[in-house]
Amino acid sequence: MWLADEWKDYEIIDCSGGEKLERWGKYLLVRPDPQVIWDTPRISSGWKRKNGHYHRSSKGGGQWEFFDLPDQWSIGYKGLTFHLKPFSFKHTGLFPEQAANWDWFGPKIAAAGRPIKVLNLFAYTGGATLAAAKAGAAVTHVDASKGMVTWAKENAQASGLGDAPIRWIVDDCVKFAEREIRRGNHYDAVIMDPPSYGRGPKGEIWKIETAIHPLIQLCAKLLSRDPLFFLVNSYTTGLAPSVLSYLLGVELVPRLGGTLSAQEVGLPVTSSGLALPCGASGRWEA
């Protein structure tokens, strides 16, 4: 498992009974997690001192219950700053486990010794965008949600990257990739974090099982003559890391060679010393 184990402002303190107790800066949140299928004693006093608790509904969805939690606050990671706020479907605006990937590609960009252009699709609030920009890359950040792109811009400003070479694009990721091919644009690296299911700005339907392979095929055409890496993330239950590796392998290796790797990404749990799986990633590198 690729662990994001270098956080100072975030930790999973404990997890039990379908929920995890997390520290985000100085605030404690309890959120549901489908991987936490064990029910062990809840030893930490933090369970009783929580600032927010997302209650999952048996009918789907759920709602927050707050106990002295601000509307917005911030945490940092290696010089980057992320604004957080609780919003629908339990999220806070950041997936801390992705730091495992930031710590992988950041040094690759910094050590490339040449200008690196990165395409970040389904880019959300910009964690990967900021990590790549901080390492020296020029980044094209694409997300279908105007609100998420605005949030990412705010994170960039807070991180001292307001003037970094980042293109902020609100668009359907597939249509954007198709247009970039027609324009003849190329990128040295591609990052994508596609949802299991979603809709574009004009109602375009995205289902990962049928859409991810065609998108990887499209983005393979966008790679430069000397590509650096290709990263695919997934939070879709049942989509094994090896599937992501296979998809990258059939599209990139015959033409470009390189190295493939795939793993679960996860976070350490302070109380047990174990690691909680939080998704999967597939990596190709030259």
What pLDDT shows up at residue 123?
A: 98
pLDDT at 94 over 90: yes
Q: Report, as an integer, the average pLDDT of 80-97.
A: 95
Using alpha carbons, select from 130, 134, 121 the residue that is nearest to residue 171.
121
| pLDDT of amino acid 201 | 61
pLDDT tens-digit readout, 212-232: 999 999 999 999 999 999 999
Cα(102)–Cα(81) distance, integer angstroms:
14
> Nearest to residue 187, comparing CAs of 218, 217, 225, 161?
225
> Does one domain contain both 19 and 125?
no
Q: Is 171 exposed, middle or buried (0-12, 13-18, 19+ CB in 10 A)?
A: middle
Q: Are residues 78 and 101 in the same domain?
A: no
Same domain, 80 and 217: no
The verdict on 78 and 100 lying in the same domain is no
CA dist., res. 205 & res. 199, Å (int)? 5
Q: What one-letter code names the amino acid at 188? A: D
Do residue 183 and residue 280 come from a single domain?
yes
Range 153-174 average pLDDT: 97
Q: What is the pTM of this model?
A: 0.95
pLDDT above 70 for 200 = no
CB neighbour list of residue 217: distance below 8 Å, 6 or more residues apart: 251
Residues 249 and 122 in one domain: yes
Is residue 12 pLDDT above 70, yes or no?
Answer: yes
Going from the C-alpha of 82 to that of each of 6, 69, 107, 126, 240, the distances in angstroms are 16, 16, 20, 9, 29
Q: Which of 18, 51, 84 corresponds to the end of one domain?
A: 84
Structure confidence at residue 215 (pLDDT): 96
User: What is the rounded average pLDDT for all residues in the chain?
Assistant: 95
Does residue 178 lie within any of the structural domains? yes
Average pLDDT in the 62-85 region?
A: 97
Lowest mean pLDDT among 113-117, 125-129, 166-170, 209-213: 209-213
* Residue 91: inside a domain: no
Does 211 reside within a domain?
yes
User: Residue 57 is part of a domain; what is its CATH number?
Assistant: 2.60.40.1180
- 45 and 170, same domain (yes or no): no
Number of domains in the chain: 2
Higher-confidence position of 234 and 205: 234
From the list 220, 215, 230, 209, the residue with the least C-alpha distance to 281 is: 230
d(CA 242, CA 262): 6
For residues 171 and 145, the answer to whether their CB atoms sit within 8 Å is no
In a domain, residue 89? The reply is: no
For residue range 101-125, what is the model confidence (pLDDT) as tens digits? 999 999 999 999 999 999 999 999 9
For residues 141 and 33, membership in a common domain is answered with no
In a domain, 232, yes or no: yes
Which residues, in sequence order, are CB contacts of 111 under 8 Å at separation 6+?
none
CATH code, domain carrying 236: 3.40.50.150
In a domain, 1, yes or no: no
Q: Are residues 122 and 227 in the same domain?
A: yes
Residues 179 and 236 in one domain: yes
Q: Is residue 237 part of a domain?
A: yes
Quick one: what percent of the chain has pLDDT higher than 70? 99
- Claim to verify: residue 104 and residue 225 sit in the same structural domain: yes
* Matching residue, tokens 């690196």: 116
Section 78-95 average pLDDT:
95
219 CA to centre of own chain:
18
Confidence of residue 88 (pLDDT cuts 50, 70, 90): confident
- Match 């099982």 to its residue by tokens: 209
Contact 216, 251 (CB under 8 A): yes
Which domain range does residue 114 map to? 96-285
Whether residue 64 is found in the same domain as residue 206: no
Q: Of 84, 119, 134, which one is at a domain's C-terminal end? A: 84
Listed residues 84, 110, 139: the one ending a domain = 84
